[in-house]
Amino acid sequence: MADNNIGPKRLVVGAHYGLRDWLAQRVTAIIMAVYTLILLFKFLTAKEFSYEGWAGVFAAQWFRLATLVVLLSLFYHAWVGVRDIWMDYIKPVALRLFLQVATIVWLVGCAFWAVQILWRA
């Protein structure tokens, strides 16, 4: 592998990241699952579904930060998953690299939008 991984044969796309992304996908999944239960609990114990109640949940700084951490987890999780999809089905290297870069750009854009949403009020 070391010998044919040089120059034009160098691997520019692929799943050679091994354990790190596999583990990251699991850790981010657990973070999101816990948050889902917290949000569901807040939602179901609310007396009525009004703007005050809903915005009130997101008014606390700790909840905004928690939400942002969960969204960043989601974006990393989505990156690993979507990259797997491109690797499985998209064979031409140029197209695959383009889609992977587009995915990253897209997710980073979503991350900044999420910050703006959470700290607008």
Q: Is 104 in the site for other proteins (CB under 8 A)?
A: no
Q: Which stretch, 5-13, 75-83, 90-98, contacts other proteins (CB under 8 A)?
A: 75-83
Q: Which residue among 43, 81, 93, 94 contacts other proteins (CB under 8 A)?
A: 81
| Spatial separation of the C-alpha atoms in residues 69 and 32, rounded to whole Å | 9
DSSP 47-109: SS--HHHHHHHTTSHHHHHHHHHHHHHHHHHHHHHHHHHHHHH--SHHHHHHHHHHHHHHHHH
Residues 31-70 that bind other proteins (CB under 8 A): 33, 36, 51, 54-55, 58
Q: How far is the CB of 108 from other proteins (least distance, A)?
A: 12
Question: Which residues here bind other proteins, judged by CB under 8 A?
Answer: 26, 29-30, 33, 36, 51, 54-55, 58, 78, 81-82, 85, 106, 110, 113-114, 117-118, 120-121
